Amino acid sequence: MLANSNATANLAVKDLARAKAFYEDVLGLTEVHNEGELMVYKRGDTSINVYQSKFAGTNKATAVTWMVGDEIDTIVKALKSKGVVFEHYEMPGLNLEGDIHVGHGMKVAWFTDPDGNILNLVDR
C-alpha cells in the first residue's frame, strides 16, 4: 500500500528561529516552504518538517538519519567545526573512534538539534 510513497520526518521544536539557524546555517539545508509555524526542508526524496510544539525534545530515539556514504568522516569534522556536539553511546559491537561509532560493518554518528531531537549520520 505504501511501497511507492515517500515518507517525511517531522521534528518538533520550541523556537523556530533557533531551529531555522541550526538546520540552515549548521546543517546546510535549504528551506523550501514556510507557513509560519512550519518550515519544510527538502533534498532529493527526503523532506523534513520542522514545526513548533510544546512537546519538542520529548522523543528519546533517533528521529532522522542521513545516509552519507563515505563522506561520514568529512561531514562529522565539518559539523564539529560548526559547534555540533556528538553523542557517545555504549552499544554492543560498536567501538567509538573519535565521534563515530564503528562496528557491524558500518559507521554511525549521533548528534542533537537545539531541542534535543536525535539525528544521525550513517555511512550507507
Residues of the chain with pLDDT under 50: none
**pTM to 2 decimals?**
0.92
Read off the pLDDT of residues 57-74 as tens digits, 9 standing for 90 and up: 899 999 999 999 999 999
Predicted local distance difference test score (pLDDT) of residue 48:
96
CB neighbour list of residue 111: distance below 8 Å, 6 or more residues apart: 79, 84, 85, 86, 87, 118, 119, 120
Looking at CATH, the fold of the domain delimited by 8-122 is given as 2,3-Dihydroxybiphenyl 1,2-Dioxygenase; domain 1 (3.10.180)
